[in-house]
Amino acid sequence: MRIISWNVNLSNRRKIKQGMRYILSLHPDVVCLQEVSRLNKQWLSTIPGYTINSCIESKHNHPLEKHMYILIMTKQKPIFVKKFKYDYAHHNSILTRLYAAFVHFEEMHHVIAVRLKVKGKQIQITNTRLSCAIGTSDRVQEFKTLVRKVKHKTIPTIYCGDYNVVDSKLFNRLTGWLRGFTRFDYLLDERASFEKLFKKEHLVNIFRGKSTSFVNRPLLQLDHILVPKTFLVQSHLLTKKRYGSDHRILVATIQI
């Protein structure tokens, strides 16, 4: 099974089609996309051979057509689709207020989950984008809640998405005031905290140690494909080209 995850960038209008042509040339079974505009969502729905399921990632406070979406595209029609909300808190960081005042977006904190039948067995795939406008401890809690809501006792789950995890302590020190950091957030090692959670859930972070953003330094592995340790990762690729996005494309081939 080949799985691809990509934050396309909401403002990416021209080059997203180039990026999707590249992605489709790899013949993926599952494509997880974040920051998808309504117009791009409509265009993606015309691609033959794929079923699309989506939920609102961020709600625009004025024109409804400007909502931002999370998408999962699958070659196979899912046997189960559900949306979960994993954060009901009201976050009031400076970045959150700027986001609302100038971009007019309100984050919805939704994750979409689909289940597929592969070789007679069910697997679950989730896709989301964790907030970048909150403290480290809040983002860790978001992931904990997300796992608690989507995890199934007998069906293995693959977690995809833009988790906005910051590997650089210096980057967090410089930007924490914007994102509502508490003293505890400044002291917390964000990457170590998330890796501890992944280990607890018996998940492998395929792209650990690689920057998925538009820069190599500081290292920012914002995007993730997490698979159960019982799955064999046959190959993985992080593209150099970003096709108009500020995120690279993550490609993983997994033996179920």
pLDDT exceeds cutoff 80 at 63? no
CATH architecture of the domain 2-255 equals: 4-Layer Sandwich (3.60)
Contact by Cβ (8 Å): 87, 142: yes
pLDDT at 61: 83
Token pair for residue 3?
């799985």
**pLDDT tens for each residue of 138-157:** 999 999 999 999 999 999 99
Residue 64, pLDDT above cutoff 90: no
pLDDT at 62 over 90: no
Q: How far is CA 200 from CA 26, 48, 129, 167, in A?
A: 32, 39, 21, 19
pLDDT > 90? residue 90? no
Q: Where are the beta strands (DSSP E) in 119-244?
A: 121-129, 157-162, 203-205, 223-228, 232-238
Confidence of residue 66 (pLDDT cuts 50, 70, 90): confident
* Angle at alpha carbon of residue 129, lines to 205 and 196, rounded to 5°: 35
In the three-class reduction of DSSP (H, G, I as helix; E, B as strand; rest coil), residue 185 is classed as helix
Residue indicated by tokens 């395929």: 206
Q: Please state the domain extents for the chain.
A: 2-255
**pLDDT tens sequence across 202-246:** 999 999 999 999 998 889 999 999 999 999 999 999 999 999 999
- 2's tokens: 């080949």
Q: Look at residue 38 and tell me whether its pLDDT is greater than 80.
A: yes
pLDDT at 121: 93
Q: What's the pLDDT tens digit per position in 163-178?
A: 999 999 999 999 999 9
pLDDT of residue 21: 97
Instruction: Confirm if 203 and 143 have CB atoms less than 8 A apart.
Output: no
